[in-house]
Amino acid sequence: MKTQIAAGLALCLMASAVQADVTIGNPMAQTGPIPDLVAPMVQAVDLAVDHVNSQGGMFAGGERLNIARADTGCDPVAGVDAVTKLINVSMVTGIVGPVCSGATIAQAESVSIPAGVVTLSVSASSPMITNMETGTDLVFRTAASDAYQGVALAELALAKGIKDIAVSYANDDYNAAIAGVFAEAYAKMGGTITANQAHEPNKASYRSEVATLGSGSDNLALFAYYGSSGITIMRNALETDAFSTFIGADGMLAQEVIDQIGAENLDKATFTTSTSDQTASGFNAWKTLADAAGIPAAGPFVPNSYDAAFLMALAIEKAGSADRSLIAGALRAVANAPGETILPGEFAKAKGILAAGGDIHYSGAAGPQDFDANGDVAGYFSANVVKNGVWEGKIIK
C-alpha cells in the first residue's frame, strides 16, 4: 500500500512539472460587415499556429499551441462578451485580435487590461488606441495607426488633383477616427472640405445623405465598412450621379465591392490600406509560405494577422511559461532589436536560439514589428484601384 501511495505521489509530482498546452485567444470578426476581409486573416493566424506545432511546439516538452476562437462581429458589445469568455473560461494566455477598432478598444478597457492580459491586435488602426491604456503596456498592434494612413490618403487625394471633397463616415471608432485625421490633414494641405457628415450603419438607403453631400463636390471621401453602409452609399451615389470620384480606406477594400458595384463603375475609385514592403526578406519568406497554403499573401491585414499570432507564440516561448504577467516584456524582447533575425516560419530556429539564452528579432510578413512605447508599429500603405476585375495596390508611403 505504501509503495502504491509513493508511486502515485511520484506520478503527481512528475505531472506537475510538465508544462500544459498553451492556448491563445483569437477574437475575429467572422460575421458582421467585413467577413470577406477577415476570412484570409483567420487562415493566416491558423497557419502561424501550424508552423509552431510542426516545428517542435512550445517549450522543451513540445506542448501544443492551441487557438480558442470567438466571433466579435466587428461589434464593441460582442467583442467584450467574446474576450470575457476567452479570458475567464478558456483561460487564454494572450489575445491575438480583435480585428475592428471599436471591439478592440471596448474589450481592452473593460476586460483584458483589468485582467492583466496582453492584447495584440491584428488590424485595429484607430489613433485612439495609441494612448488608451495609460501606461499598462498591455495593448499592442501589428498594423500601423490611421494617424499615418489618414495623412497619406490626404496627400494622395491632392496628388490626384482633387482640390475639394465631401466626407462621409460611419459613426464608429475606426471610421470616425480616420475620417477626422484625413479631413484635418487635407484642409491643412490646402484642400477644401465641402461637407463632413457622420452616417449610421445598416440603413436600407442613403439617398438623402448622398444628396446633401453631393451638393458641393463631385468627389467623396467614404470611410465605412463595405458590408454595413459603404456599398449602399456608393450605389446610391452612382444611381443619382452625385459623385464621380471616390476615395477611402481599408473598410471598403473587398472583392464584394467590385462584384456588387461593377468594375466599370469603379474607374475613379481608390482605397488605401496597410501593406507590406514586398521587397523585404520577411515578406518574401511569408509569401512562399502563404502561396503554398493558398492564402493571399498581400491581402489587407493578412500578413499582419500572421505576424500577431507568430509573435505571440515567440513571446510565450521567450517567457518560458504561459504566465500572463510575463508576456508584455517578452513580446517587446522578441519583436524589437537587437537579436538574431527571425523570419516568418522560422519557429524552430527561434526556439533553439532562445533555449541557448540568445536574443531574437522578428522581421515580419508585414515588415519590422518594432513596438514603440505605445505598442504601435510603423508601416506602409498602398493605394488600390480596380484592374482586370480585382483590386491592385501600389505602395504610396
Band (pLDDT 50/70/90 cuts) for residue 19 is: low
Q: Tell me what the mean pLDDT of segment 358-369 comes to.
A: 96
Strands 390-395 and 380-387: antiparallel
CB 222 within 8 Å of CB 178:
no
pLDDT at res. 17: 41
Residue type, 44: A
CATH superfamily to which 147-267 belongs = Response regulator (3.40.50.2300)
Q: What is the pTM of this model?
A: 0.92
3-state DSSP helix/strand/coil % of the chain, to nearest 5: 45, 20, 35
131 pLDDT band (50/70/90 cuts)?
A: confident
- Residue 2, pLDDT > 80, answer no
C-alpha cell at 53: 506545432
The model's confidence at residue 6, banded by pLDDT at 50, 70 and 90, is very low
User: Environment class of residue 392 by beta-carbon count within 10 Å: exposed (0-12), middle (13-18) or buried (19+)?
Assistant: exposed
Q: List where CATH 3.40.50.2300 sits in the chain.
A: 16-143+279-368, 147-267
Confidence of residue 13 (pLDDT cuts 50, 70, 90): very low
- Mean pLDDT score of the chain: 94
- 271-284 confidence digits (pLDDT tens): 999 999 999 999 99
The CATH homologous superfamily of the domain defined by 16-143+279-368: Response regulator (3.40.50.2300)
Please compute the mean of the pLDDT values over residues 278-300 and round it to a whole number. Answer: 97
39-64: b (≥16 Cβ within 10 Å) or e: ebbbbbbbbbbebbbeebbbbeeebe
Residues 6+ apart with CB under 8 A from 327: 93, 94, 117, 118, 312, 315, 316, 319
Structure confidence at residue 132 (pLDDT): 80
